[in-house]
Amino acid sequence: MENKVEVKTAKLTAKDFASDQEVRWCPGCGDYSILAQVQRTFPEIIEVPKEDVVWISGIGCSSRFPYYMDTYGFHGIHGRAPILATGVKLANPKLSVWVATGDGDLLSIGGNHFIHACRKNIDIKILLFNNRIYGLTKGQYSPTSEKGKVTKTSPYGSVDYPFNPTMLATGSEATFVARSIDRHTKHLQEMIKRVGKHKGTAFLEIYQNCNIFNDGAFSILTDKDTKDDNVLVLEQGKPMIFGKNGEKGIKLDGFTPRVVDLSDGKYSADDLWIHDEFEESPVRSAILSTFTETPGMPTPVGVFRQVLKPTYDQGLVEQIEFVKKKKGVGELEKVLFGGNTWEVN
């Protein structure tokens, strides 16, 4: 088996994962990059036969994703991708089940299914295409849009505070929480691989540019001259350092993170917060999540948190095996004729 799989996947290339459908996103849409990185990384990370891969989505521009992957795919209804994926995974736990979803799809109408999937630790991989806007419906603010955003449905600015997706995932106790950016292709590939390797609900927030309705939402994180000062790349076991020449670092006062200057010799790497993505406690992930809400803090990308605990699907299968052992494989005859019966002759 193992071998067969090896052999089978070894031969695959990015092309093998490209379907015959022409891609219909707007020219310049960040979704193209995400699709490309997924197709590039899949030959490496998919340890099951290709036919065991399933892509599930809801509704939105991002949710068109499954059509472009030459795997089994299900373009569901709005907001239901995580629970549709749950059904697929529970019915056949050997499948590798991936969800492509948008900030409206996952966090607005789909919020409940999302937090319950995280809570139950269903072994599905969720890629959130976060463009902070409703794309397919042509530009209304979303639950991740910044407060005060002027859109078609908020001509005077929205009065909503946005969700902090990694914070919400942390609050739902997701076992894998990470972030990347469409234009950071290498990093994105890295994160997709990590997601692929995780067992349990894996949540990857991907900042994605909607160049039609929310262009430049993440430009300071992607423009050559601003990104180094605004993006903090998290690396396991390493102190948190960023800036063009790595001249800035993150220091923790209590649990309040602060940016410190490493150039004037006042602080050194030893003073900095060392990243440990495998920490049991969700607190680190919570702190990292607050960065984007704190003026002056860089935006962390990378794995915020990865912990391992038995998945729901695993638990379900084990319980079935357990009961089969304990009671013996079920026999219909026994059930029907069980209980209080009597004869009529």
Ligand X SMILES: Cc1ncc(C[n+]2csc(CCOP(=O)(O)OP(=O)(O)O)c2C)c(N)n1
Residue 173 contacts ligand X per CB under 6 A:
no
Closest CA to 93 of 311, 245, 298, 305: 311
Residue 67 binding target from other proteins, ligand X, a copy of itself, none, CB below 5 to 8 Å by type: other proteins
Q: Which of 35, 38, 53, 61 contacts ligand SF4 by CB under 6 A?
A: 61
d(CA 329, CA 337): 16
Q: Which stretch binds ligand SF4 (CB under 6 A): 89-97, 155-163, 206-214, 228-236?
A: 206-214
Q: Which residues pair with 232 in a beta bridge?
A: 300
**Binding to ligand X, residues 112-151 (CB under 6 A):** 129, 131, 133-137, 142
What b/e readout covers 181-210, taking b as 16+ CB neighbours within 10 angstroms? Answer: bbbbeebbbbbbebbbebebbbbbbbbbbb
Applying CB under 6 A, which of residues 30, 104, 239, 282 lies at the interface with ligand X? 104
Q: Choose the contact partner of 258 out of a copy of itself, other proteins, Mg ion, none; CB within 5 to 8 A by kind.
A: none
Candidate list 108, 185, 211, 314; residue touching ligand SF4; CB under 6 A = 211
Query: How far apart are CB 39 and a copy of itself at their closest, in Å?
Result: 32
Select from 36-44, 164-172, 194-202, 325-333 the region that touches other proteins (CB under 8 A).
325-333
List CB contacts of 209: < 8 A, sequence separation 6 or more.
Answer: 28, 29, 30, 131, 182, 183, 215, 216, 217, 218, 219, 222
Q: Does 60 sit near ligand X (CB under 6 A)?
A: yes
Q: Is 18 in the site for other proteins (CB under 8 A)?
A: no
59 versus 231: smaller Cβ distance to other proteins? 59
State how far the Cα of 48 lies from the Cα of 4, in Å rounded to an integer: 10
Mark residue 139 as left, alpha or beta (left: phi above 0; alpha: psi -120 to 50; beta: remaining).
left
Neighbours of 12 (CB within 10 A): 15
Indicate the residue among 53 and 217 with the shorter CB distance to ligand X: 217
Q: Pick from 5, 12, 18, 26: which binds ligand SF4 (CB under 6 A)? A: 26
Residues 6+ apart with CB under 8 A from 228: 242, 243, 244
Which residues, 9 to 48, sit near a copy of itself by CB under 8 A? none
- Chain contacts with a copy of itself (rule: CB under 8 A): 108-112, 115-116, 119-121, 143, 156-157, 159-164, 167-173, 255-256, 281-284, 286-287, 290, 309, 312, 315-316, 319, 322-323
